[in-house]
């Protein structure tokens, strides 16, 4: 079971938030909240608020399953750009520089099933291993390699034969000129 929370229009740039998000990815919610409470970045406050909100949503939405915060972990967390506020700063000689005040949206998805996170990757790995066991990948790779080898060889062979023919004709013409002089 999953629950999600979105914090919007945070007045911190997405890049600054991303540094903090990378610290808590795939961690249990309790551990993530502890880490965020001790992180000295301004973005940590907003991220902690989003994580706690997602955990509260999970516990509220799935009361009948009696989920506790200890069972939850951060399945997915990411930041996206919000609207950018454009401001101007006065500079020397009556000029103005543009100041971009960026905003962010943080999305947090918490889950209680750790195995659910890895099902997609496992199915891909299993499919590849089954194909490899059946020899399908090897046949595909062999046919692709053979096609790639044939194409350059034929093109190079034609080019080499043309250059050889030109070289032969030049050497024959030089030999015939020398014989004519003698």
**For position 89, which CATH number holds?**
3.90.470.10
If one counts the domains in the chain, the total is 2
Could you list the pLDDT tens digit for every one of the 182 residues in the chain? Answer: 899 999 999 999 999 999 999 999 999 999 999 999 999 999 999 999 999 999 999 999 988 888 888 889 999 999 999 999 999 999 999 999 999 999 999 999 999 876 554 444 455 555 555 555 556 555 666 666 656 666 555 555 555 555 555 555 655 666 566 666 65
pLDDT reported for residue 65: 82
pLDDT reported for residue 111: 93
pLDDT reported for residue 46: 97
- 131-144 burial, b if ≥16 CB within 10 A, otherwise e? eeeeeeeeeeeeee
Kindly state whether residues 16 and 75 are assigned to the same domain: yes
pLDDT reported for residue 36: 96
**Cβ-contact 6, 50 below 8 angstroms:** yes
Whether 123 maps to a domain, the answer reads no
Whether 157 maps to a domain, the answer reads yes
- Domain assignment of residue 83, given as a range: 2-114
HSE of 30 in the Cβ direction (CA atoms, 13 Å)? 6
pLDDT reported for residue 143: 66
pLDDT reported for residue 71: 86
pLDDT reported for residue 64: 84
Kindly state whether residues 99 and 146 are assigned to the same domain: no
Whether 135 maps to a domain, the answer reads yes
pLDDT reported for residue 120: 46
Kindly state whether residues 50 and 10 are assigned to the same domain: yes
- Residue recorded with tokens 């060889």: 153
pLDDT reported for residue 62: 87
């Amino acid at each position: 079971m999953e629950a999600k929370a979105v914090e919007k229009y945070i007045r911190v740039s997405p890049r600054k938030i991303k540094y903090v998000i990378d610290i808590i990815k795939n961690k249990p919610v309790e551990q993530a909240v502890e880490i965020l409470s001790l992180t000295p970045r301004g973005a940590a406050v907003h991220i902690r608020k989003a994580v706690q909100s997602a955990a509260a949503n999970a516990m509220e939405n799935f009361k009948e399953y009696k989920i506790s915060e200890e069972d939850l972990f951060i399945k997915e967390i990411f930041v996206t750009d919000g609207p950018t506020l454009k401001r101007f700063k006065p500079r020397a000689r009556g000029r103005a520089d543009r100041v971009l005040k960026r905003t962010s949206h943080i999305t947090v998805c918490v889950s209680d099933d750790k195995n659910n996170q890895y099902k997609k990757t496992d199915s891909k790995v299993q499919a590849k291993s089954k194909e490899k066991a059946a020899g399908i990948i090897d046949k595909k790779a062999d046919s692709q390699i053979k096609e790639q080898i044939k194409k350059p060889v034929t093109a190079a062979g034609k080019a080499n034969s043309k250059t050889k023919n030109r070289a032969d004709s030049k050497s024959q013409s030089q030999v015939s000129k020398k014989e004519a002089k003698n």
